[in-house]
Structure formats: structure tokens, C-alpha cells
Chain A
């Protein structure tokens, strides 16, 4: 059985989430091919070739794939998948979520989103209702298409493999979409979904200024990534790609620190699989306390600086 994994990348580096997808593919079992569709993406293909467990890398290098427009990439993926793959997998990143359902429809198959466990070759687990229920789903489709929730699978080693890189000549520009611009938030902190420690702020931090004043020193001290609740994002404290939750990013770090976060269902869906959860909140009744391993009731403006000084 052969498995096609769609690489998540920015034309220069391979996104770590792809290593988690390869891990899920190994659980299914079979020959793993990674497809890198991009422009000037040779370095990504080389990196993918070194990933443990990958037997082949396909590189489709063309201007049409430069910005991963779903209209162009999905056609390519569907054509390659028809060439004999039983599985098409991608990470549950915004890129994977954008492209894969389009691939599934082109193949005329149903798709499984956000797989968190592989039960058997055609049976998978996935969360529904904001993670309040876990469904076990069996696919009877000829080609199984699914996105993988990265935090649910331990990444395979980025080094150690020696797959051959093969060029794909085919180029598809559907001509119905064009890239205009992008605005990427520059961070010198670890990537949110891959970080070992996440420090998150909610409405309780009060303002964007205070978010950075209080949380930056703590994140610096811990080498942590920073996150936020939807309330903090909607209030404009931090950009929306900080958002942890059902509609933002799903994280499962070793330590998640929820500061000034009440713990709405939508937020819990994004972080309750963290190993250890700490809540710092002035409200004794906050729902976040019910999922926290340790919770401290107090004013975050005094508690957090004290914590920083004692770490």
C-alpha cells in the first residue's frame, strides 16, 4: 500500500508538522512518498528526502505552486494520487485544510479531517464537537484522504532517511486564482504548535501592551511560544495566529500556562491535551481550573512577575 504525504513548507524549509504526518503514515504502514509542490523548493525536497521512513520524494517545482494555491496544487495532487496511491495525507495546518478537501472532491471520495489516532488501515479516530467527543470512523473509499492532527503523533526523525528525489514535470495553473500578498508575523520564539512550553494570555491581561509586558518575560525565561485565547485576539491584544482553540491552533505542549484565561469550550478544545496545564486567574470559579493540574488564584500582574523572578 502506498501513501502520499503532502509536504507543508514555505519553499525554503519543511514545516515540522510534516514529520508528524509521516509518523501517522508509518502507523498505517506502507511505502511513504512525500510530495513537495512549490517554487524554488529544492531545499525542501532535500530535507524531505532525509526524513526517516520516507522512501521517495516527488518535487513539483513550478511558479504555479509558489504560494500553495489550492486551485493549482489540488489538481496536481489528485492526478498523482490516481497513479496508484491508497492514501493521501497532509497536516492539519491551514495549508492542508485548504488543499485536501479539494483533492478529495476531485477524487470523488469522502475525507477524514484531523485524525488523532490510527486504529487500523481504514479506521481512524477524530475529535468532533470541539473535542467534546471522539468519533471512530471507518472509510470504505478506494483512496483514503485525511488530515493529521500533528500534536497527536510523535514526529519522526528529521534525519536518517535517504530517499531519492524525483522531479514531476506536470504543471497546472487553473487560472482562477492569483496570489496578491501576505503578511507574516515575524517571531523569534518557537512555533506555537511545535513548542514544548506555551504561555497563553486571555482577556484578563487587559491590553496588548500589558500582554507583552507581563507575558514576554515569562515566555523568554521558559523559552516558550506565546498563545492567546479568542477573547484576547478579538480584543486586538495580539494577532490572530496566536489563537489557541477549536477555531485557532491546536497545541499539546508539555506545559501550557493559561494566564487570565477563563477557559471557554472553544479554547479548551485547543489545549486540553497538554501534558501539564497551569492556570493563573483571579477567578476561583473559572472553568479553566477544572482542566488545570495546578491553578493559582491571584492577580496576574503581580503573580507572573513573581513567577519570573523565581524561575
Chain B
């Protein structure tokens, strides 16, 4: 079966971002960009399913600027077979991304669609679920285990309180949680090979979707700074402070 994996180019998880002085957004000039960690886990899962013989072809798709090619190439270096970049310089909201992905799914007809559970930049946690609604497909969100069996997939989900297992009819959508797998590192020969793998460029208009979003970001601010704390030297001092100064115990 064919698997489609959506990846997003985001600021690297280790970067401490700064809000622009004019409050228009976060400053991303000269900041290291990477594949979103949850998307990387989705790619890894698809590659593992291919290694097991369940998946025959992995198509990786990204929506965004021309630079997102780098992230598609990274996914190919991990084992994806080909890529699709839906290129746009405009802002694209979660709903619009889901609509574009629906267009890609309609064209590619994958049986498994893998996404990260959330992007670490906007922290929305929406696209997989929205795509599920648009396709009328089942969704296994926050997956920590995926088992494909015939025309169905069993997904163990991380929920508040523990784990829940659901069974979905294929084609289905899976969004990955951190504990699903440990992504591999791309070996240099695979990085070289990834450069030769096919990468198609499309535009949102090819799927009949307009970019933009009906959510207007009015401003972006830095969160309130916490007051600097104090180092206490002993347990007695800590207990005293908690009781008399902070009054929390």
C-alpha cells in the first residue's frame, strides 16, 4: 500500500525564539530550520512499515516556501521514495493545509496518511483531524503504536489517563506522538541518493485551494517574565520560605 507523509519546515526545536520588537511575529531570520520533530517520527514510522513489507511506496508532501524542499529531501534521506512540494509564499492556515492535503490524497490515493500530532511552531494540533473530516476517514491521533492488519489499522493512542486502542478502516489518518518511535539518522550515502529522488512542485491552485486563513494574528508578544528567584541553602530555609513567604504549604 501507499503511504503519504506530511512534513513541515519549522524552527529547530533547540532554538530559543525571540519575538520581533514590532510584535508582528517571531524573528526567524538566520535561525536554524528543521523538519518538525513529530513529522520526523511520522516519516520513520512509514519507513519502518515499508521495511516490514506493509508499505510499498512512501510519498512525502510539504506545503510552504521553496525552502521546504530541504525538509522533503531530509525525509527522502530517511527513506521516503518521492516528494511533492506544494509551493506558496503566502501564509497558510491549518484548515487550508488540510484542504491542500485532501487534494494530494485524492490524486495519490494513499491508504495510510501519516502526520505529526502538532507542529512545534504554531502548536495547533489540528491538521490531521481536519484532514480526517474532509476525507471522511478515521483518525488515530497521538499514536504511540500502529499495527496494520489487512484493510484495517489498530492505533494505540496516548490519552489523558493512559492509553486507548482504536481500529480504523483504511484509508486512515494517523498523527504521531513522541513515543511512537525513535527516528533514525540519515546516513551520508542516503543523503546523496535523496538528491536524485523525484520531487514534484505544485501550487495550492492545482488543488483548487486558496491560501490564507480567516484567523488574523493581531500581535505576538513575549510571555510575561518570571521574577528572578533565590537560591536557598538548606531544607530548613526552603520550608521556611514556602510556609511564610510564598505561603503555599
**B233: chain A residues within 8 A (beta carbon):** 296
Partner of B236, one of A69, A97, A310: A310
Inter-subunit contact B133/A132 (CB<8 Å): no
Residues of A within 8 A of B213 (CB): 110
A276 at interface by CB-CB < 8 Å: yes
Q: Does A27 contact B (CB under 8 A)?
A: no
Minimal beta-carbon separation of A308 from chain B (angstroms): 10
Residue of A whose beta carbon sits closest to that of B118: A247
CA–CA, A95 to B158, complex, Å?
10
Q: Is the CB of A247 within 8 A of B220?
A: no
| Interface residue from B138, B221, B223 paired with A176 (Cβ < 8 Å) | B138
A222 at the interface (CB under 8 A from B): yes
- Asked if A70 contacts B95 (CB within 8 A), the reply is no
Residues of chain A within 8 A of B215, CB atoms compared:
110, 112, 137-141
Contacts of A101 in B (CB 8 A): 94, 124-130, 133
Contact across chains for B229 and A294 when beta carbons are under 8 A apart: yes
Q: Does A210 contact B (CB under 8 A)?
A: no
Beta-carbon contact of B94 and A94 below 8 Å: no
Stretch with Cβ within 8 A of A (4 or more), from B52-60, B68-76, B163-171: B163-171
Closest Cβ of chain B to A251, distance in Å, is: 12
The answer to whether B159 touches A102, judged by C-beta atoms less than 8 angstroms apart, is: no
* Chain A 26-50 residues near chain B, CB threshold 8 A: none
CA distance A95 to B154 in the complex (A): 18
Binding site for B on A (CB under 8 A): 67, 69-71, 74, 93-95, 97-106, 108-114, 123, 127-141, 174-185, 193, 197, 222, 230, 233-234, 239-241, 246-247, 249, 254-255, 265-266, 272, 275-278, 289-297, 303, 306-307, 310-311
A177, closest chain B residue (CB): B138
B122, B160, B164, B236 — most chain A CB neighbours (10 Å)? B160
Give B residues with C-beta under 8 Å from A: 11, 13-14, 16-17, 19, 26, 93-95, 98, 117-118, 120-134, 136-139, 141-142, 144, 154, 157-169, 172, 177-179, 213-223, 226-236, 238-239, 241-242, 246, 248-249
A294 adjacent to B238 (CB under 8 Å): yes
In contact, A179 and B232 (Cβ under 8 angstroms): no
Instruction: Specify which of A128, A177, A266 is in contact with B169 (CB 8 Å cutoff).
Output: A177
15 new A-B contacts at CB < 8 Å, known A177-B168, A275-B248, A294-B231: A67-B164, A97-B141, A101-B126, A109-B214, A110-B214, A111-B126, A136-B217, A176-B138, A176-B172, A181-B165, A182-B163, A240-B144, A296-B235, A307-B235, A307-B239
How far, in whole Å, are A135 and B143 apart by their CA atoms in the complex?
28
Q: Are B218 and A137 in contact (CB under 8 A)?
A: yes
B95 close to A110 (CB less than 8 A): yes
Complex CA gap A114/B26 in Å reads 19
Known: A98-B141, A110-B93, A255-B249. A276 touches B161 (CB 8 A): no
Which of B122, B214, B219, B241 has a CB less than 8 Å from the CB of A294? B241
- Write the nearest CB–CB distance from A221 to chain B, whole angstroms: 9
Q: Which residues of A contact B124 (CB under 8 A)?
A: 101, 111, 113
Q: Complex: how many Å from CA A129 to CA B100?
A: 24
Given A177-B167, A294-B230, A310-B239, A94 and B26 touching (CB < 8 A)?
no
A-B contact pairs, 30 of them (CB 8 A): A70-B139, A101-B94, A101-B124, A101-B130, A102-B133, A105-B98, A105-B131, A105-B134, A113-B125, A114-B123, A123-B218, A130-B120, A132-B222, A134-B220, A140-B215, A174-B136, A179-B166, A181-B164, A233-B179, A241-B161, A241-B162, A254-B248, A255-B248, A292-B229, A294-B232, A295-B230, A295-B232, A297-B231, A303-B235, A307-B235
Q: Nearest residue in A to B99 (C-beta to C-beta)?
A: A105
**Alpha-carbon separation in the docked complex, A175 to B138 (Å):** 9
In the bound complex, do residue A111 and residue B177 qualify as a contact, i.e. CB atoms below 8 Å apart?
Answer: no
Q: Smallest Cβ distance from B127 to chain A, in angstroms?
A: 8
